[in-house]
Amino acid sequence: MLGIGLIKGLSVTLKNLFSPIFTIQYPDKKVGLLAFSKHINKPILKILQEDPKMFVMGLVRMATIPVKIDQFPRFRGNEFVWYDDRCTACASCAKYCPLGIIEIVTHESGENMQAGENYAIDKFDIDTGRCMFCGLCVEACPYDALHMGTDFERSSYSRVDLVLDKETLTSQTKNPSSWFRPQFESKEYNPWEKNMSNSKDAGRHEKPSDQKIKENWVNKRKLDG
């Protein structure tokens, strides 16, 4: 029938006109005075005394607060989380990277000679500006020292700023992604709720206790024998 298409189209428009709004304002959203005072944890009267301009903005629902959009725990952001105390400088991550963008420089430390000597790490750089976030480096790490990160707000005007160097990797907040890390999922860890600052929590391969070693290598052998 002539005009049926027009009615169908208008019915879709009408349906959407009265459905809930799901637009998310990002990176900031406009809020009223109450929400603003809750966000900065200050009473409304204090805002009036200290920042009258923001008070007026809040009155007309134009005060802004940042929005952090939560992602899934396995989300891979454009950063990495590195635990220097778990890293042996074996360079497996650098060898597996198809783009060759992980640079590791080491020197002999003179420590732990009996076990074959440890390496001291002078440089550990990842150029995230060239990274495709395939995660092969994370899969290759035998010691759970390197993890995909979850931060995605690292845009910059300069390519140099996209290089994650040893100092940045060591000092930044650690919110690793649970991608390729089943041990995180078994602990129901959610990077959007808390960070994982203790490197022990990040690993699967902890040194077994003396009791465990005895069970596996002495008691079990006696039984098998």
CB of 78 to ligand SF4, least distance (A): 10
**x/- contact string, 56-95, with ligand SF4 (CB under 6 A)?**
-------------------------------xxxxxxx--
Please provide the DSSP assignment of 108-173 as one string: E---SGGGT-PEEEEEEEEETTT-----HHHHH-TTS-EEEB-------S-GGGGEE-HHHHHHS-
Count of residues touching ligand SF4 (by CB under 6 A):
26
Q: Which of 75, 143, 180, 192 binds ligand SF4 (CB under 6 A)?
A: 143
- CB 93, min distance to ligand SF4, A: 3
Determine contact, residues 216/224, Cβ cutoff 8 Å.
no
Residue 211: C-alpha distances to residues 5, 207, 221, 223 (Å): 76, 11, 14, 16
Q: Check binding of 54 to ligand SF4 (CB under 6 A).
A: no
Would you tell me which residues interact with ligand SF4 (CB under 6 A)?
Answer: 87-93, 96-97, 99, 101-102, 104, 126, 131-137, 140-141, 143, 145-146
